[in-house]
Amino acid sequence: MPLDHFIKLCNGEREKGQLTMMKDVSLMKQGVVQGERLVNKIQDFIHDDCLSRYCFLPQVLDNVESVIGPNIKAMHTMLINKPPDSGQMTSRHPMHQDLHYFPFRPADGIVASWTAMEPVHKENGCLFVVPGTHKGTLLQHDYPEWEGGVNKFYHGVRGFHDTNHTYVEMEKGDTVFFHPLLLHGSGSNTTNGFRKAISCHYASTKCHYIDVSGTSQENIAKEVEEMAKRRGVQISFQVRNL
């Protein structure tokens, strides 16, 4: 089962391989929690035999195809684990657009699937979205100036203030699909439990990579490349073929 597998990965009972295990910044600084309590996200699970099955579920693929057409690729995979907040509000995710993280276009050729692995509600930090913003443009993103810190790569739209967002409360197994320009984020987890979701971004093979140099995406490109370099891997934020 994906949930059991995730917990074993967090506890070091399974080899993580090429998975990227990300940790909550405030909990990491405290140094008193481990395992499931500390890990807030696993990225690149397409390389994991168990978790990658999500990407091939017919119930997901049928809906993805109805939006961006056939001939698709899984481009970005995440299992998101929002642990109980430490009191520093670092379990929040600032308002952002997913396209900020993707050096390929067109935006209309990309769609996200996001599935609740357990009940998701306001108290444990459900998604909130700003309806209609998928018709807009990519905005400038950076780290918000939040007291208590912000988790790695959790960029947010700079200077954005919204009072018209909609909360997306979900039951276990519910799935939402959304455009990469949709403004969305999530609140802090004020419960004693976790809020887990599994997600995959798909792109049409008609998409193409772009050069982000000199654009609003240059900051995230440099950050990704620097992280890879620290791990001894030389990568470029963009490649020639999708």
Domains and CATH numbers, the chain: 2-208 (2.60.120.620)
Whether a cis peptide bond, with omega within 30° of 0, leads into 2 is no
Residue with tokens 């790569």: 153
Whether a cis peptide bond, with omega within 30° of 0, leads into 180 is no
Give the pLDDT confidence score for residue 228 in this predicted structure: 74
Residue with tokens 């802090």: 188
Per-residue pLDDT of 120-145, as tens digits, reads: 999 999 999 999 999 999 999 998 88
Beta bridge partners of 42: 21, 79
Query: Which residue positions in the chain have pLDDT lower than 70?
Result: 26-33, 148-149, 162-163, 232-242
Give the pLDDT confidence score for residue 88 in this predicted structure: 76
